[in-house]
Structure 1
């Protein structure tokens, strides 16, 4: 049901139309989507700091939920979203289409300090578990594909983002210190201290401070930290 009584293969979440998918919108994720708690900390943070017309660079697009929310609810000018998992790209497209979003550009690539040749990406039967790590669960791999790598400096020059949204499963500790983020007004970053340790967390904070951004506790919660320019 779509909330109006008509049968439709979508559910509603924070006012967004979420297409149902047999491998994505299931179990715990389905419940969180319906309750409006999916990616709650990130959603709360971006809702507080993002402004209409902003240019947003998103690293780690996931299912496309946050970029769609920014386009629909915050009326941002543009989102460039990087998602390495090729199995998610068709679903993201369906989510954007279901909400008539045309301001989000999804790039199936990795953003790295130096760019380089494409790298192997391993698709698994549960494609939410797909990754570059072959050894994590080699028996579940159904296909290995190549994913492009884009150079961070080139993308920052091209997009000129006002806002960074970042959830890249620990790669933040090496990628963010390699960039010139001085053009940002704010950044929302999910940290992964279980993988990057205290030194990695400090590297992220140092990178934001070098860019002139200050930790903003009112839009931070747990591992989701927000930085902004000025007070």
Structure 2
């Protein structure tokens, strides 16, 4: 079996797979400030007791950070693409992260307390899932918006309708942070 090259980011290992580590993703990875900002915001929102639902997590950094560095109770990843889902599983295995489940669609009995959504890539696909993922049980949400103007105007009202409030202190540029109540 051929040894696969690995990339280390923040102490986490990722397989160097060109299908998922595209030029755009590599650019994001190299733009440390952007990733650091998102991860810092995620760390400030997430609590170890949270059950997170992750929609649209490109190459797996947010998933791995949630389960690894923050140590959430459970992380469920929804990824329609089978190859990408297998890649995310591999990232978790490489890093010893086991409180994770993966599916192609939203899990019926799972009620998340934290929603993490990356709309920067396949916004239409993920925005549709986002609509169905919203529940009254959400304590917080972190959403990376796409470059499209209509993305924010569509997504934000849906999130606010669940009782979440915009958290400007933790939000920046293309990342929205929302909480049920500010602590």
TM-score grouping bracket, smaller chain normalisation: 0.7 to 0.9
State the alpha-carbon separation in 1 of the partners of residues 56 and 172 from structure 2: 19
- Report the CA distance between 1:21 and its aligned residue: 2.4
Q: With CA pairs under 8 Å and 6+ residues apart, which has the higher RCO, 1 or 2?
A: 2
CA contact (8 A) 2:56 2:117 kept: yes
Flag the structure with larger Rg. 1
User: Which position in structure 1 is the counterpart of 2:73?
Assistant: 77
State the alpha-carbon separation in 2 of the partners of residues 24 and 180 from structure 1: 27
User: Which position in structure 1 is the counterpart of 2:47?
Assistant: 51
Match of 2:123, SS state, is coil
CA contact (8 A) 2:20 2:84 kept: no
Does residue 1:13 correspond to 2:6, yes or no? no
Query: Aligned ranges for residues 133-212 of structure 1 at < 5 Å?
Result: 155=107, 158-168=109-119, 169-171=122-124, 175-177=129-131, 180-192=134-146, 194=148, 197=150, 201-212=152-163
Deviation string, structure 1 residues 173-223 (Cα, Å, up to 9, x no partner): 5554555522111001122351x62xx533422222222211011221112
State the alpha-carbon separation in 2 of the partners of residues 213 and 89 from structure 1: 29
Deviation string, structure 1 residues 15-62 (Cα, Å, up to 9, x no partner): 111222244446564465467457444323211110112100111132
Scaled by the length of structure 2, what TM-score is found? Answer: 0.80
Query: What stretches of structure 1 move > 6 A for 4+ residues in a row?
Result: none
Scaled by the length of structure 1, what TM-score is found? Answer: 0.65
Match of 2:109, SS state, is helix
Consecutive unaligned residues of structure 1, counting only runs of 5 or more, are: 1-6, 112-154
Q: Count residues with an aligned counterpart.
A: 177
Equivalent of 1:107 in 103, 115, 123: 103
- Report the CA distance between 1:161 and its aligned residue: 0.7
CA contact (8 A) 1:11 1:34 kept: no
State the alpha-carbon separation in 2 of the partners of residues 173 and 24 from structure 1: 20
| Alignment RMSD (CA, Å) | 2.8
Consecutive unaligned residues of structure 2, counting only runs of 5 or more, are: none
